[in-house]
Each structure stands twice: as C-alpha cells, then as structure tokens.
C-alpha cells in the first residue's frame, strides 16, 4: 500500500496524530537502542483507501545540533520512501528556524506535501496560523490534536493525492519475498540460488544496492524472488539502515505470497525479526523461517532441535511454521528452503471442498460443541472455505457472537490436523446462518 510519512520537529504533536489514526496494537514500534527515539508505523484506511502511516521520528536527547541532523534524516527518509508527506508544525511556537529548514528540503520534493498546523483549537489560533504561509509551501491545513478536529479534511486531501495504482508491478507469478534484518544474509542467499553475483555482498553495512525481483524456476515451478536487501542510499548511521530495511520489508511483505524470513543464526530470533514475522502473519502471508549462517554454529546432535524449540516458543500460538537451517555460504539446504516455500505457497492456495469440510467438521462439532454462553447454545450448521487468496473458513451458526477465541482456535487446530496448512495463517470466522 501507499506510504504516508509524518515529519516535523519534536513535540509538535506527530505521535498524537499518529495514535489517533493507528490502533495501538497495530503499530510496530522500532525502538532504536541507545537513543530515546521510537519510530512507529502502522496501517490505516480513509475513504476506503488503505495506506501505511509512518511517524519517522520521536524524541532525541541531545543538543540542538543533533536535533537538526536528526530531522534532516527523517525528511530524507520520508522523501525517499513515502508517497506523500505530512509536515507538521505548531501554532503555539510559530515558525521556527527548524521549520524553515524542513520547508527548504520539502519545497524541492516532487511528491505531495501537506503542511499541517497543529494545536489550532480556537479562532485566535486559526488567525495566527497564517504566518505559516511564510514557509512557501502554499495552502496549509489546521488540526487540533487534542480533539481531532480538522483531521477529516486533511485525510480527504491526503488520500486523494495518493497514486491510484501501485507502482510495484504485480506479476501473475507467485511472489516469494526474502525479508529480514540487514546482514542476515538475504543477498547471499539469493546469490547462492541464482548462482551469480547479482548483488555486491560486503561486510560493510549500507552498501548501495537496489531491490530487484528475480524470476526463478525450480521444481517445475516459476516464481519471483523479491529481494529487500536493496538500500538506495549510503546511510551514515546503522539505525537508519535497519529502518530502511524494515520499511522495505513492509512493502515487500504486502506484495508477497510467501515470506522467506532470513535470520542470522548467531543473532537469533530477536525483536526486529519478531516484528517482521508478526507483520507477515498479520498480513496473512505464508511464512518460512530460514536460520542462516548455520555453518558458523558449533553443533552437537541436539543443536537444531533446541534452536527450533526456542523459535517456536517465540512465535506461539502460530507454531505451525517451517524452519529450515541453511548456509548461504556453503549452499547447505538452500534448495530445501525454496522447496519448502513452494509447499507453503501450495498450502496457502489450497481449496477444500465444502462436502469434505462438513463430513469432517459436523460430527466433530457435535462431539465438541462450543460452550454454552449465558445459557444459550450455539448450533453450527455448516462450514465452507471462502474464495479468498488465503485460507479463510466460515462456520455458519445461530449465535456467532457467542463463539469465543478459544473455540475458534480449537477449530483452527482441527483444520490444521486434517489439512496441511503448514506455514500459513488460517482465519476462522463465525457467520450468522
């Protein structure tokens, strides 16, 4: 989906605005260690148009110099990656030098920029806001973070300015996205597969590379490998590289059928990897976990099992995910990784006949009916798979709202027992009959 970035000085109200639009649990927080700064992104929609919203910068401790450098970087990130930019300023403080600097950067941008004056909650302040014309960005919008007024008009304009069509070309072929943290070995993995150095792989974080899709044929099966290792700009700071890679991952995941989540065996399934995993899960994508650099791990007969167990603990309750131990360097199991991804793709596109489903589930539900709720009995009449790209099952019954999550999970587990949905999120819905 399209990306809208919010930029501006600290404390002008960016995060309040962000939180208003993104439900908390949907937001991914990218906490950069060592610096008091969070970056947030999440998905939302307005007028039926979906977009990802990114609050590129929070609060930085330090001198004004650091502030300025920091804000320049935010704006550069936004210019590089976003489809539209919201530049937020504060009517209380009026135009500041830093606002002028940001405006200077944004005036040269060939993307829709929305100047938003925050904290305009009375007529006097609405008058004061005119001084922001001085920034040379033209018309501005006024909002009041505390009560949300003005937000609707702003969003109408923002979504109207977003490109209708994705610039990513959608191919008919299944898309396997190779995602993960920088230096996990994504490019090395792809290089190993295609048997040539398509990408320059180096030890230096931030090597300039471009994201490329590679058409690939294996096991009589054609698909696109989507590389997210590409970093457009040489980044001065390591955190930025991380952030770029997460943003790349967001896009790649949204367009993928199956995500190959590459992690560095020495670093493990850490917070950032977990973010990417849950992002893929929430987007209902197929997932294969590739534990790379396995050649570097000192092994005994139980290393693999223990490593696997630790990962499954982190991804509970969605534990039905294949984990393949690979080495992009020695090419160990790299074809196994692809074979597994193909299987996951097939699981994800699998369609189960309504008659088969009902033959299995009606007797089962009769033996294990949903628990009565407030003295009422739920009767499930029949089951069918919905015609969606990913597995979704509707259970038709008299009182859908009385069926709670534990029972839905029970049904999901039974679906997984009877049909192979390894690596694929399965959705169970209760529908009114």
- The per-residue DSSP string of 223-249 comes to EEEEE---B-S--SSHHHHHHHHHHHH
DSSP letter at 376 equals B
Question: Which residue's CB is nearer to ligand GDP, number 158 or number 260?
Answer: 260
Which single residue is written with the structure tokens 């539900």? 365
Q: Is 182 annotated as a binding residue?
A: yes
Considering only 29, 162, 212, 329, the residue that binds ligand GDP (CB under 6 A) is 329
Tally of CB atoms within 10 A around 235:
21
What backbone torsions phi and psi does residue 128 show, to the nearest 5 degrees?
-60, -30
- 3-state class of 150 per DSSP? coil
3-state SS assignment for residue 283: coil
Tell me the pairing of strands 392-397 and 380-385.
antiparallel
Of residues 180 and 370, the one with the C-beta less far from ligand GDP: 180
Rule CB under 6 A: is residue 293 a binding residue for ligand GDP? Answer: yes
Token pair belonging to 280: 């893929």
Q: Does 200 bind ligand GDP (CB under 6 A)?
A: no
Among 292, 340, 347, 385, binds ligand GDP (CB under 6 A): 292
Q: Which of 21, 109, 390, 81 is nearest to 250 (CA)?
A: 81
**Nearest residue relative to ligand GDP (C-beta):** 185
Residue from 203, 298, 300, 405 in contact with ligand GDP (CB under 6 A): 203
Say whether 14 counts as a known binding-site residue: yes
Taking the C-alpha atoms of residue 18 and residue 150, their distance in angstroms, rounded to an integer, is 14
From the CB of 200, what's the least distance to ligand GDP, in Å? 9
Interstrand relation of 49-55 and 28-31 (parallel, antiparallel or unpaired): unpaired
Tell me if 248 contacts ligand GDP by CB under 6 A. Answer: no
Q: Tell me: does residue 211 bind ligand GDP (CB under 6 A).
A: no
Among 98, 315, 328, 357, the residue binding ligand GDP under the rule CB under 6 A is 328
Looking at the DSSP bridge assignments, the partners of residue 394 are 384, 429
121 is in an annotated binding site: yes
CB of 210 to ligand GDP, least distance (A): 12
Q: Which of the stretches 45-53, 175-183, 364-372, 420-428 binds ligand GDP when contact is defined by CB under 6 A?
A: 175-183
Q: Which range, of 185-193, 298-306, 363-371, 394-402, touches ligand GDP by CB under 6 A? A: 185-193
Q: How far apart are CA 330 and CA 189, in angstroms?
A: 10
Residues that constitute the known binding site for GTP = 8-15, 55-59, 118-121, 180-187, 227-231, 292-295
Judged by the rule CB under 6 A, the positions of this chain that interact with ligand GDP are: 180, 182-188, 201, 203, 229, 292-293, 295-296, 327-329
């Amino acid at each position: 989906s399209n990306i809208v970035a919010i930029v501006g000085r600290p404390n002008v109200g960016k995060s309040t605005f962000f939180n208003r639009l993104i439900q908390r649990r949907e937001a991914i927080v990218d906490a950069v260690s060592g610096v008091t700064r969070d970056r947030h992104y999440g998905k939302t929609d307005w007028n039926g148009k979906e977009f990802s919203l990114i609050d590129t910068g929070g609060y930085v401790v330090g001198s004004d110099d650091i502030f300025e450098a920091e804000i320049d970087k935010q704006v550069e990130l936004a210019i590089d990656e976003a489809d539209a930019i919201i530049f937020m300023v504060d009517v209380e403080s009026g135009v500041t030098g830093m606002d002028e600097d940001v405006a200077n950067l944004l005036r040269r941008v060939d993307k829709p920029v929305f100047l938003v004056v925050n904290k305009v909650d009375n007529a006097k302040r609405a008058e004061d806001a005119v001084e922001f014309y001085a920034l040379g960005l033209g018309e501005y919008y006024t909002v009041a973070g505390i009560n949300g007024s003005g937000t609707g008009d702003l969003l109408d304009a923002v979504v109207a300015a977003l490109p209708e069509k994705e610039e990513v070309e959608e191919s008919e072929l299944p898309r396997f996205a190779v995602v993960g943290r920088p230096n996990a070995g994504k490019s090395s993995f792809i290089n190993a597969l295609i048997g040539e150095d398509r990408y320059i792989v180096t030890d230096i974080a931030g090597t300039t590379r471009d994201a490329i899709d590679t058409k690939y044929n294996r096991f009589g099966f054609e698909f696109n490998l989507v590389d997210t290792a590409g970093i457009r700009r040489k980044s001065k700071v390591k955190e930025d590289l991380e952030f770029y890679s997460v943003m790349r991952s967001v896009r790649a995941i949204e367009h993928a059928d199956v995500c190959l989540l590459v992690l560095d065996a020495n670093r493990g399934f850490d917070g950032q990897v977990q973010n990417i995993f849950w992002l893929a899960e929430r987007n209902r994508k197929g997932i294969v976990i590739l534990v790379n650099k396995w050649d570097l791990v000192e092994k005994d007969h139980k290393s693999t099992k223990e490593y696997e167990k630790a990962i499954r603990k982190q991804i509970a309750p969605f534990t039905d995910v294949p984990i393949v131990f690979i080495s992009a360097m020695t090419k160990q199991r790299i074809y196994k990784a692809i074979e597994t991804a193909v299987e996951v793709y097939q699981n994800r596109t699998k369609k189960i006949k309504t008659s088969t489903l009902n033959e299995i589930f009606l007797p089962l539900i009769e033996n294990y009916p949903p628990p009565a709720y407030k003295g009422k009995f739920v009767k499930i009449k029949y089951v069918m798979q919905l015609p969606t790209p990913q597995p979704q099952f509707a259970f038709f019954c008299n009182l859908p709202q009385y069926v709670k999550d534990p029972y839905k999970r029970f049904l999901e587990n039974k679906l997984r027992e009877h049909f192979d949905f390894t690596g694929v999120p399965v959705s169970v819905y209760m529908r009114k009959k």
